[in-house]
Amino acid sequence: MAVVKWEKDGSVALCLMNNGQNLQNLEFAQAMSRVLDEVVADTEVTAMVLTSTDEKFFSNGVDVAWMGERLAAQDFQAVKDFCYGMNDVFKKLLLLPVPAIAAINGHAFGNGAILSCACDFRFMKSDRGFFCFPEVDLGIPFLPGMDAFVAKAVPAWKFNEMKLTGRRAAAPELEEHHVIEKACDNAEHLREEVMAFARTFHKKRGIFAEHKRRSHRHILEIMDNEDPKVIEPLNLVVRE
């Protein structure tokens, strides 16, 4: 079974996370990166929708069990490869030459919520699923680049509140604070709204990509220059 797969609906690419809770580990990062490359290579694609095949989970974040096993085995390179691999995924979403639209159809926790924030737009269903940053309770600090690009998706005061409390938010609250474009009643409504929105885009890739490169230049500089200072010494967990 493919961890991540994609298919086309007209000119819209559906990028489907396809592994239950869609926990993020090195295999996930590599699969997502390959799919995004394939989407970009298809010049008929005018928009990309990122969602999950699971009814309950969009993505439950980092595969903590996998990471713990790699650290226990002193396979530090795998952990570093995962961190850099996910950064590659985030960069590809930030620079995608077509709109990247997250259809949050279930729980988006931690790196799952962060993944959606790398997209240009977010929609979410209201009848099931929460969005939160539980890192404060898990002892896992954000990478500097994450702080930078999540801030483009979540208003500064709201991001501060959510990051420091770890509190869960549902779709209506996120819509109120413009974190998502729309709170949808259920999965069917979510798909209808996301696909209708995606089909409005027929922008030239060159100008679309250039807008994003210029808008996100400071984020990319932080990811390239500051994140390695945390990743290389594996300063990824705070136990105090």
Q: What is the pLDDT of residues 46-57, one digit of tens each?
A: 999 999 999 999
Band (1; pLDDT cuts 50, 70, 90): confident
Q: What is the pLDDT of residues 115-139, one digit of tens each?
A: 999 999 999 999 989 999 999 999 9
Closest C-alpha among 85, 72, 151, 82 to residue 118: 151
Q: What is the pLDDT of residues 3-54, one digit of tens each?
A: 999 999 999 999 999 999 999 999 999 999 999 999 999 999 999 999 999 9
Taking the alpha carbons of 71, 75, 80, 86 in that order, is the dihedral positive or negative?
A: negative
Would you say residue 237 has pLDDT above 90? no
Strand partners, 5: 16
| DSSP calls for 14-72 | EEEE-STT--B-HHHHHHHHHHHHHHHH-TT--EEEEEESSSSEEE--B-HHHHHHHHH
Q: What is the pLDDT of residues 178-231, one digit of tens each?
A: 999 999 999 999 999 999 999 999 999 999 999 999 999 999 999 999 999 999
Pairing of strands 4-9, 12-17: antiparallel
Average confidence score pLDDT of the chain: 96
Would you say residue 240 has pLDDT above 90? no
Domains and CATH numbers, the chain: 4-198 (3.90.226.10)
Predicted pLDDT of residue 119 = 98
Predicted pLDDT of residue 238 = 67
172 three-state secondary structure: helix
Q: What is the pLDDT of residues 52-82, one digit of tens each?
A: 999 999 999 999 999 999 999 999 999 999 9
Would you say residue 98 has pLDDT above 90? yes
Predicted pLDDT of residue 239 = 63
Residue 125 zone, left/alpha/beta (φ > 0; ψ -120 to 50; rest): beta
Band (236; pLDDT cuts 50, 70, 90): confident
CA distance 203 to 113: 27
CA distance 237 to 118: 22
| DSSP3 helix / strand / coil % (the chain, rounded to 5) | 50, 20, 35
Q: What is the pLDDT of residues 153-184, one digit of tens each?
A: 999 999 999 999 999 999 999 999 999 999 99
Predicted pLDDT of residue 234 = 87
